[in-house]
């Protein structure tokens, strides 16, 4: 007697060997390989994120100095960039970890204070885990080629001395970024 199979039975028997899925061992090996690859890749991504964060902070410092310099020349008044003590208030220390403020110091008071009638141009607040220090508590940008404050703002990278970077401001008020001091030594915090 001849047995007749339906088309559904023929299809399921012929494809059963090809569509069997993953075994538990194959799944465990795949997860182990993925874990090894991730353990190698994640630290390099963390370094990349730290580099971007450092670069972003330094670019913001440079931008603030360039803004202060151009506002001083444009308006013919002193413009101050100083460490931030609290909202709209200059700090008296060289710790810039709370951020910095840029304002027009029309009355040229010393130490500079934002008085009524003076314009707060920009205020930048840093996150809690960023450490920025400076050789001075404030930079004064003066118009008409008068001497401005020179100094250095250092971004203290949590990875250590070789990763610290600085923004150096010349007496003409021009900022530049630097990886090392002029003598080739690393910046310290």
Residues spanned by the domain of 168: 23-178
Q: Is the pLDDT of residue 12 over 60?
A: no
Average pLDDT over residues 51-68: 93
Query: Is residue 98 assigned to a domain?
Result: yes
Pick from 1-10, 62-71, 120-129, 143-152: least confident: 1-10
Query: Is residue 14 assigned to a domain?
Result: no
Query: Is residue 163 assigned to a domain?
Result: yes
Query: Is residue 183 assigned to a domain?
Result: no
pLDDT, residue 69, reads 92
The pairing of strands 99-104 and 89-90 is: unpaired
pLDDT, residue 3, reads 64
Structurally, how many domains does the chain consist of?
1
Query: Is residue 119 assigned to a domain?
Result: yes
Give the length of the chain. Answer: 189
Of 4-13, 69-78, 82-91, the range with the highest mean pLDDT is 69-78
Query: Is residue 188 assigned to a domain?
Result: no
* 164, burial (CB in 10 Å: exposed 0-12, middle 13-18, buried 19+): buried
Query: Is residue 172 assigned to a domain?
Result: yes
Average pLDDT over residues 29-57: 88
Give the span between the Cα atoms of 44 and 55, in whole angstroms: 16
Query: Is residue 6 assigned to a domain?
Result: no
For the record, the structure tokens of 31 come out as: 């997860």
Average pLDDT over residues 182-187: 90
Q: Give the CATH number, domain containing residue 53.
A: 3.55.40.10
């Amino acid at each position: 007697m001849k047995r007749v199979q339906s088309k559904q039975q023929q299809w399921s028997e012929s494809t059963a060997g090809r569509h069997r899925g993953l075994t538990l061992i194959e799944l465990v090996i795949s997860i182990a390989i993925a874990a090894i690859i991730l353990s190698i890749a994640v630290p390099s991504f963390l370094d990349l994120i730290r580099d971007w964060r450092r670069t972003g902070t330094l670019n913001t410092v440079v931008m603030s100095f360039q803004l202060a310099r151009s506002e001083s020349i444009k308006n013919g008044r002193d413009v101050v960039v100083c460490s931030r003590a609290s909202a709209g208030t200059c700090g008296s220390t060289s710790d810039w970890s709370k951020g910095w403020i840029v304002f027009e110091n029309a009355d040229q008071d010393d130490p500079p204070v934002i008085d009524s009638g003076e314009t707060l141009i920009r205020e930048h607040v840093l996150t809690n885990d960023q450490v920025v220090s400076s050789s001075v508590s404030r930079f004064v940008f003066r118009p008409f080629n008068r001497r401005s404050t020179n100094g250095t703002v250092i971004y203290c990278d949590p990875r250590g001395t070789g990763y610290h970077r600085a923004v150096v401001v010349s007496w003409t008020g021009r900022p530049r970024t630097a990886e090392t001091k002029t003598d080739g030594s690393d910046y310290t915090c």
